[in-house]
Amino acid sequence: MMEVPCKILAVCLLLVGAQAFAAVDAARSSKELTWQSLFFDAVTGNLQQPMADELLEFEDCTALYTVDNIEILLVAGYKIRRCGNLESKDIERYLERQDAVYTKRNFERELVNCALRESHHDNRQCYVDTVLNLFSSVRPYRYDRRRRNACIFREVEKAVIKLNAASISLANCIAQSQPQPLPPQNSTLPPPPQNTTAGGPGWNTTAFPNTNTTPNFTLTTVSPNWNTTADGPWWGNNSTQGPWWGNTTTQGPWWGNTTTQGPWWGNNSTEGPWWGNNSTQGPWWGNNSTEGPWWGNNSTQGPWWGNNSTEGPWWGNNSTEGPWWENNSTQGPWWGNNSTEGPWWGNNSTQGPWWGNNSTEGPWWGNNSTEGPWWENNSTQGPWWGNNSTEGPWWGNNSTQGPWWGNNSTEGPWWGNNSTEGPWWGNNSTEGPWWGNNSTQGPWWGNNSTQGPWWGNNSTEGPWWGNNSTQGPWWGNNSTEGPWWGNNSTQGPWWGNNSTEGPWWGNNSTEGPWWGNNSTEGPWWGNNSTQGPWWGNNSTEGPWWGNNSTQGPWWGNNSTEGPWWGNNSTQGPWWGNNSTEGPWWGNNSTQGPWWGNNSTEGPWWGNNSTAGPNWNSTTLGPNFNSTQGPWLGNSTQGPQNTTEGPWWNNTTASWNTTTVDDRSTTEGNWFDHLMNEIGSLF
């Protein structure tokens, strides 16, 4: 049996060598293309994958084995070069100066000698020494040879193990592709199934089968016929998979959607939980995909941190950015605004978070743009650090400097002040950015003075006007004031803080915009609601204006309102929730689109019914061999092709049976055999 695998191995080497190394050494005979040659080209960076059309003439097992081996060698070669701190171009330049053919043949000869060594360790170490000798010729090592040796040894060992595993997989593949021998004609044992397409006897009857007949094994369709080949448990969907976690299949839980993925974490698929949206991504963290959680929006990004994508969480907005930090995109979190920037730090974009403003800058640090966070102001600078622009964050002021760090200008952010120092780092001046304050230090890090807004500092004043509170805007601080005007509230905008105020104007509410906070107010204007926009929060308000509803847009929340306007329904769009409303408009039904819920309504528009699709039918179960049926964990196939009878509250009798090919025996029917076997026991 070993002759066949050996022949196929030889064919694979010939194929790979002929395609990968023709340009390097076209004159060499294909008989000389050995694994040593492949390894040399992998280490030097000249190895290439064969093209797909070059594998068409080979069987599946051979083609897969060839591709796997080349991939293993490509990865090993790359990692070995990293161990030697070399690029492929460095080795290429060396070979251009030397005799490349001689260098390669000498390398191969050394590997052949290594293979003759009996000790496993000596064999591997010999391979490593051969590689190190080549690398030392390219760039001499003055130190650290021991570390490089250990690194290369580890990668060589990994590659050998993977190549051995690939060989075993090839042998198994070939063995499985061989036809299985049939039993002797006079055997009383039934042969293996031969391409039968249906299960046990009597699928088209509701009575016990006739014992004097041979079971019918030619059926290909079983009632009830659902007239579809690609549908999970919902309406009007042509997709091929149900909505759950850890599945890379192709459909989420909603109607009339031809997209390709459900809403969960750590998935790089392409659809979130909503209706009529052709966008490409759901709402979670650490994902660089392209769609947030809302309806009728063709924009391109959801609301989270550390993402460079392009859309925030709202409806009917064609803008391009969501509300988070360190994003270079271009849109903030609000409705009906065509402006160009959201409220965060380290962003070079151009718009703040408010309505009807055509200005060009939001409230954050490290931005070179030109507008602060307020209304109808044509000034040219917002309140942040590291900016050389010319305007502070207030109304109708033509002064020349805002409040930030690393700036040597001459004006702080307030009126009628001729002082000489603003609030930033590394400055020993004597005035912070506000009125009527005789304190002695500005807001920066690593300073033991007594004032200003920074991290890990227990001092007593932040950077704003007319405020007698006791703390600036930063993280991990339990002080009591955020950075804004005319507000007597008690907390700034950051995470992990249990204080009570967010960063905006004229608002007496009680919470800022962050996660894991049990406070009671989100980041917007003129709203007396009770919750900000984040996950894992049991509060009661989402991130929007003029809405008295009771829940924000996130998962694992038992609250009662989704992220939209004028809706008094009772549930947002997420999984594992026992609430009673799905994510859509004007619907008083009682169930959202997810699993593990015992409620009574499906997720669609204008439907006041009380039940989803159930199978309490008296007809037979779905076709076992079809691609239809409501279950989890199967994309295009119904329950397994077992030998069980129908199920789903069906009145049809079922039994366990052994599938028998009606062409394979002439020794009577199964019932006679059973009786004979029982008789032989007595």
Residues 266-293: pLDDT tens digits? 334 343 443 334 444 444 343 444 444 4
> With bands split at pLDDT 50, 70 and 90, how would you rate the model's confidence at 224?
very low
pLDDT of residue 87: 92
Cα–Cα distance measured from residue 494 to residue 491, given in angstroms and rounded to the nearest whole number: 9
pLDDT of residue 53: 74
| Mean pLDDT in residue range 324-347 | 41
Q: What is the dihedral of CA 214, 220, 224, 229, to 10 degrees?
A: 160
> With bands split at pLDDT 50, 70 and 90, how would you rate the model's confidence at 64?
confident
Residue 412 burial (CB count, 10 A) = 25
The residue whose two tokens read 């309505």 is: 355
- Compute CA 540 distance to the chain's CA centroid, rounded to the nearest angstrom: 28
Cis bond before residue 224 (omega within 30° of 0): yes
Higher pLDDT, 173 or 603: 173
- Of 657, 663, 675, 660, nearest to 208 by C-alpha is 657
Percentage of residues in the chain with pLDDT exceeding 70?
Answer: 21
Higher pLDDT, 57 or 338: 57
Cα–Cα distance measured from residue 323 to residue 509, given in angstroms and rounded to the nearest whole number: 20
Half-sphere exposure of 283 (CA within 13 A, CB side): 27
Percentage of residues in the chain with pLDDT exceeding 90?
Answer: 12
> With bands split at pLDDT 50, 70 and 90, how would you rate the model's confidence at 184?
low
pLDDT of residue 62: 83
* Secondary structure of 210-245 as H, E, C letters: CCCCCCCCCCCCCCCCCCCCCCCCCCCCCCCCCCCC
412: helix, coil or strand?
coil
Cα–Cα distance measured from residue 431 to residue 423, given in angstroms and rounded to the nearest whole number: 8
Cα–Cα distance measured from residue 304 to residue 613, given in angstroms and rounded to the nearest whole number: 35
What's the chain's average pLDDT?
51
Cα–Cα distance measured from residue 292 to residue 328, given in angstroms and rounded to the nearest whole number: 17
- Of 627, 629, 641, 621, nearest to 195 by C-alpha is 641
pLDDT of residue 45: 93
> With bands split at pLDDT 50, 70 and 90, how would you rate the model's confidence at 37?
confident
pLDDT of residue 124: 92
Half-sphere exposure of 644 (CA within 13 A, CB side): 11
CA-only gyration radius of the chain, Å:
35
pLDDT of residue 150: 94
> With bands split at pLDDT 50, 70 and 90, how would you rate the model's confidence at 89?
very high
In the predicted structure, residue 10 carries a pLDDT above the cut 60: no
pLDDT of residue 391: 42
Alpha helix (H) residue ranges in 447-487 = none
Higher pLDDT, 147 or 433: 147
DSSP 444: -
Is 426:436 a contact under the CB 8 Å cutoff?
A: no
pLDDT of residue 39: 92
Residues 570-579: pLDDT tens digits? 444 433 333 3
**Alpha-carbon separation of residue 630 from 436, 608, 610, 633 (angstroms):** 70, 23, 19, 10
Cα–Cα distance measured from residue 482 to residue 467, given in angstroms and rounded to the nearest whole number: 10
∠ at Cα 561 (559, 567), nearest 5°? 160
290: helix, coil or strand?
strand
